[in-house]
Amino acid sequence: MAVTSEGLAQAAIEISRESATVSEMLAKLSSMLKESLGAEEAVTKDVYQMKGELSQAEEAALNTKMPYLDNRLSSYSGFVDLINYFSAGFRSCLMIPIATEQNNFGIITLLSRKEECFRKGSVETLAPIARMLSYELDSRLERERSLSMARYFDAAFEGVMPQFIIEKSGRIVKANKSAMNMLGTVQKDIAGSVLGDFFYITPDIAESIKDSRTAEIKDLKSGRDYRLSPKKINDSLVHLLLSDTTELRNLEDRAGVIAMSQAEVFMLLDKNMRITWVGGDMALLKAGEANFTDRMLQGFVKDREGIGIESRIRNMRDEPFREQVRLALDNGIEIDVNMAIARRQGGYAAVISRNMERFIENMRNEVSDLVALSHEFVIVIDDEGFVRGSNKSAERLLKYGSGDLDGVPISSLFADSESKDRMNSAMDMAKGRDTLTDLFVSLSTKDGEQVRLTQNIKTLRDADNKVTGYILIGKELNTKMAMEEMRSQLELRTKQAEKMKQESDLKTQFIFNVSHELKTPITNINGYARLLLSGSFGELSAEQLESVRTIITEDDRLMQLIQQILDVAKLEAGKIKLDWQEVDLNSIRDNPSIKSLEEMVKAKGLGYDFIIDYNVPRIEADPNRLIQVFVNLIVNAYKFTDKGGITIKATRKGKGSVRIEVSDTGIGISPDDRAKLFKRFYQLQKRGLTKQEGSGTGLGLSIVKEIVSLHGGRVGVGSETAVGKGSVFWFSLPVHRKIKKERKSEEAKSDAD
């Protein structure tokens, strides 16, 4: 079939219309093109659904929006994926992108094992067909989006807010019931109308609608104000949501007037003097609005003699009620205020303001209390320079008792003449400027110590503007300087800690490197020694055989030491990751490593028991690391026991944990040694043993502690342990895996990677 025929284009269009999804269309189209163009293989990728990654050649074809043809694939082709096709036996490749300027939908790759399989005419024919299919898909998806939005708006139109769908020209396409009720019309009357028929639309408002910006509009008929919130549906339609702001604006205006008041409370009352609304400066009443709303005014308002005022308010005529009253609040506080009440339609309106004389007195007391409780240094002096008051902070700083500073000349408190002169000059300047800030002075405490301060001065005046004294407010600098020194020391310690960590990391890396380098020659020594022992290099004398056995034994000990050092380094660096599995302790008991230890213990003439209680459950753990814990504890017991035996016992503790004890009848442990047992490189003295079992490394128990901790468990030595009475080492493990939060996030991240 010739690729230039109109039948190919028609078939492609039918495939597009019959396909429910982009993936289905690409699959059918690639099958048709594969047959029509004689290709042997077809690969499709649905880019629109983000399925699969694109190769370099595919990205190039989608970027250019043109088919990509290579009829002579070779190992020198321009893209890696084309070289891969060549390596797979293909010699011709044609990539057909399905894409518009805005959207990429997919790409079809046709492959053939023949060179020059795809003719240039085929490419010229396929380019417009692919572009036509792309626009067909684009239109279909746009229609689906529009239908989806229409369904959304149909549901939204059931709401109570007035809503419209309009064209960008302003012509109304649809309005909901709330919008039609608002305009006083029906759907058939709205058809063909424009928004400007009902609302005052300025050019600025029209631009706001086009740009989806909120605007304020006015109903031409009712004059009410609305806030218009436009949202673009597609290139031609806009959704409008209207909210009535007329009442809100009136309330905002009223609230603005009330908000400007900083000394009044406003109330509205019904005919029975029940409070229906309250607003204004509620701090005046030392309570919130909820404490007054829906309450009877006469229930907490009395005149200054404590007599109710209800009858006087009801009997007032033209003149409003104006009087000083006392409010008895629920929290026990009584406040003297000025109250004015006037009649209004349906009830009363009240204004409450401060009783200024009482207010000033209260303010003076509150300021005095504030100064007394302040952490700042505060001293009040008169115009002649004598102290007339001081707060606790000043007395404490200068080491004076309560009231002892009163009457002391301020000049006697300065530690040096420079501070005294600076203070005198500052007070002269403060007379004209009222305030002076950031004055550095040194004061002397009662016992002669020097205190440095930064000080502010405030001038006090009477009603005739005459200077009556000064307030000195200071911040002590000694503590600040000490804190800065501590901060510097902390920064230094932090840098030292970082340096130590870097050195520790280098040390750990060095241990890794050296240990791995040692493993190879030690393994070779062991291998050759065993060959000597087996006679592979000729017969050895009895003395030579014994020497070779010694070499193998010491080599095994050295390898064990290296492995323990590696384990310690990995644990210290946090590089050991547990292989979590469900573990049956019976399988641990039957492990070959544990069995070989059992034979070694019995060969020494010691008893051996491994007891697991019937109710011990399976636990979540790393079986290999768990075996390492058992081996280290059993070997430790073996080294320090000459007679008697070793017992391993596993029991269940509550619902959540299992406890394992390894007890022996050996030389025991002193209290001093017990505190150091789990430290690295610490070795218990083997006093009293008839046979020394080697010096050991001092790492076995520290490794046990680290592994048990990684499992979320605990390790220790039994309380009955004592010199000559044997030892009981125990460790407990949770039945179910416990992970700290920070480790959870790290493992989740690791799994994601």
User: Is 607 contained in some domain?
Assistant: yes
Task: Let me know if residue 569 belongs to a domain.
Answer: no
Query: Confidence class of residue 617 from pLDDT cuts 50, 70 and 90?
Result: very high
In a shared domain, residues 288 and 308: yes
**Mean pLDDT across the stretch 43-48?**
83
**Residues 45/51, Cβ–Cβ less than 8 Å:** yes
- 41/115 same-domain check: yes
> What's the whole-number mean pLDDT along residues 481-501?
70
- Amino acid identity of residue 299, one-letter, is G
Q: How far apart are the first and last CA of the chain?
A: 50
Provide the mean pLDDT of the chain.
Answer: 77
Whether 45 maps to a domain, the answer reads yes
User: What single letter denotes the amino acid at residue 504?
Assistant: S
Read off the pLDDT band of 419 (50, 70, 90): confident
Which residues constitute the domain of residue 72? Answer: 6-144
Rounded distance between C-alpha atoms, residue 33 and residue 9, angstroms: 11
Dihedral sign from CA coordinates of 444, 449, 450, 455: negative
588/736 same-domain check: yes
**Would strands 92-99 and 104-112 be described as parallel, antiparallel, or unpaired?**
antiparallel
Give the helix, strand, coil percentages of the chain, each rounded to 5: 45, 25, 30
Q: Does some domain include residue 630? A: yes
Paired tokens of 135 = 């626009």
Which residues have a Cβ under 8 Å from the Cβ of 266 and sit 6 or more positions away?
Answer: 258, 278, 279, 280, 349, 350, 351, 352
Where a domain ends, among 518, 553, 588? 553
Q: What residue type is 161 in one-letter code?
A: M
Residue 100 C-beta-side C-alpha neighbours within 13 Å: 12
Side-chain half-sphere exposure of 680, counting CA atoms within 13 A = 11
129-138, 157-166, 226-235, 244-253: least confident range: 244-253
Same domain flag for 403 and 447: yes
**For helices 22-37 and 6-18, angle between their N-to-C axes, nearest 10 degrees:** 160
Residue 237 covered by a domain: yes
Q: Is the domain of 447 the same as that of 543?
A: no
Say whether both 519 and 636 belong to one domain: no
Q: How many residues does the chain have?
A: 753
487 occurs within a structural domain: yes
Identify the pLDDT of residue 301: 82
Domains contained in the chain, number: 6
Question: Are 602 and 699 contained in the same domain?
Answer: yes
Burial class (CB in 10 A: 0-12, 13-18, 19+), 333: exposed
685 vs 574: which has the higher pLDDT: 574
Q: Assess contact for 259 and 281: CB atoms under 8 A.
A: no
Alpha-carbon distance of 352 to 263, in angstroms, equals: 8
- Residue 453 and residue 335 share a domain: no
CA dihedral 19, 21, 23, 28 (to 10 degrees): 0
Average pLDDT value for residue range 697-706: 76
Among 32-46, 424-438, 651-665, the range scoring the smallest mean pLDDT is 424-438
Residues whose CB falls within 8 Å of the CB of residue 86, separated by 6 or more in sequence, listed in order: 73, 74, 75, 77
The pLDDT of residue 745 is 45
Share of the chain above pLDDT 90, in %: 8
For residue 535 the two structure tokens come to 């006679």
What is the per-residue pLDDT for 744? 45
pLDDT above 90: residue 651: yes
Q: What pLDDT does 63 receive? A: 87
Main-chain phi, psi angles of 223, to 5 degrees: 80, 10
Residues in Cβ contact with 460 at an 8 Å cutoff, skipping those fewer than 6 apart = 380, 467, 468, 469, 470, 471
pLDDT at 723: 57
Q: Are residues 648 and 611 in the same domain?
A: yes
| CATH number (domain holding residue 290) | 3.30.450.20
Give me the residues paired with residue 661 across strands: 649, 730
For residue 628, is pLDDT > 80?
yes
On whether residue 582 sits in a domain, the answer given is yes
Most confident of 205-214, 276-285, 322-331: 205-214
Angstrom distances, CA of residue 457 to CA of 371, 409, 564, 705: 14, 16, 71, 64
pLDDT band of 722, cuts 50, 70, 90? low
State the burial class of residue 410 (Cβ atoms within 10 Å of its Cβ: 0-12, 13-18, 19+): buried
Helix, strand, or coil (residue 609):
strand
Q: Are residues 401 and 506 in the same domain?
A: no
Q: How far is CA 2 from the centre of its chain?
A: 63
pLDDT digits (tens, 9 = 90+) for 425-447: 877 777 766 777 777 788 888 88
Look up the pTM and report it. 0.34
- Are 150 and 188 in contact, with CB atoms under 8 Å apart? no
Q: How far apart are CA 632 and CA 59, in angstroms?
A: 59
One domain for residues 649 and 502: no
Indicate the residue among 411, 444, 476 that finishes a domain: 476
pLDDT band with cut points at 50, 70 and 90 for residue 661:
very high
505: pLDDT strictly greater than 70: no
CA 111 to chain centre: 50
Residue 229's pLDDT is 86
738 versus 229: which is more confidently predicted?
A: 229
Considering 360, 390, 413, which residue would you say is the last residue of a domain?
A: 360
Measured CA to CA, the distance from residue 157 to residue 148 in angstroms comes to 14
| Average of per-residue pLDDT across 540-564 | 75
Residue 494 lies in a domain: yes
The DSSP element (H or E) to which 653 belongs, if any, is: strand 645-653
Q: Are residues 505 and 383 in the same domain?
A: no
Average of per-residue pLDDT across 713-741: 76
Of the candidates 119, 2, 94, 104, the residue with the CA atom closest to the CA atom of residue 42: 94
pLDDT of 257: 46
